């Protein structure tokens, strides 16, 4: 087995087209065109999305609590390693530094990625896993994101022709964003934040 280490970056999240209520976390090799799609739950996807969107929850979520706990006891995560793929399940570990010693902790991949975002540490896997699970997209973006976008376009006219957010001023949107965050409605907060960013372009 080829155990060449490969650095991964988070490409994004999309709705899973194979499992209802689940999401696909897409990781991309830093120096190459292969992608690894990993199916994760809605809660884990929300935790990752919050950090990707730069949202600040009023109270710490589970992964934020882990970060605060680790900092309080001077534990740092140096890297996340996706080290095994077995029967469609990815296995990961946190490589931690505590009292000048390296400690490895087993973790679900979704949790490991959430923590990598919070600790600002790199994510790695091995060449043999990339060979098993890696896919190459024809034009960088032409896989799940376009299908998701098409699905939204097809559904949108039937449900609503215009977003109610479009009638709001930037000041009203800021207020709505703060309300959504305080109510811990991060899906709504994400939608409002997208509208604010669209207006500022």
CATH architecture of the domain with range 5-147: Roll (3.10)
pLDDT exceeds cutoff 90 at 147: no
Q: Provide the 3-class DSSP secondary structure of residue 138.
A: coil
d(CA 118, CA 45): 14
Mean pLDDT of 93-120: 96
Lowest mean pLDDT among 2-11, 68-77, 92-101: 2-11
Whole-model pTM? 0.71
CA torsion angle 81 87 89 91 (round to 10): -30
Q: What are the residue boundaries of the structural domains of the chain, listed by start? A: 5-147, 162-200
Write the pLDDT tens digit of every residue in 44-55: 999 999 999 888
More confident call, 186 vs 28: 28
As a whole number of Å, the CA-based R_g of the chain is: 19
Ranges 32-46, 51-65, 161-175: which has the least confidence = 161-175
Distance linking the first and last C-alpha atoms of the chain:
48
């Amino acid at each position: 087995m080829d155990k060449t280490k490969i650095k991964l970056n988070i490409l994004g999240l999309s709705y899973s087209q194979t499992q209802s209520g689940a999401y696909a976390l897409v990781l991309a090799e830093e120096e190459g065109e292969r992608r690894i799609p990993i199916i994760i739950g809605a809660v884990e996807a929300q935790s990752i999305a919050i950090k990707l969107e730069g949202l600040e929850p009023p109270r710490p979520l589970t992964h934020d609590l882990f970060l605060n706990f680790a900092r309080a006891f001077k534990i740092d995560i140096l890297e996340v390693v996706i080290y095994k793929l077995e029967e469609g399940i990815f296995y990961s570990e946190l490589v931690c530094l505590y009292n000048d010693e390296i400690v490895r902790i087993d973790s679900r991949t979704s949790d490991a990625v959430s923590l990598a975002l919070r600790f600002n540490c790199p994510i790695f896997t091995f060449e043999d896993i990339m060979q098993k699970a890696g896919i190459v997209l024809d034009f960088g973006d032409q896989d799940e994101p376009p299908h998701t976008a098409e699905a939204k376009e097809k559904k949108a006219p039937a449900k609503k022709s215009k977003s109610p957010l479009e009638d709001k001023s930037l000041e009203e949107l800021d207020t709505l964003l703060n309300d959504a965050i305080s109510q811990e409605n991060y899906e709504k907060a994400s939608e409002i934040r997208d509208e604010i960013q669209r207006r500022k372009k």
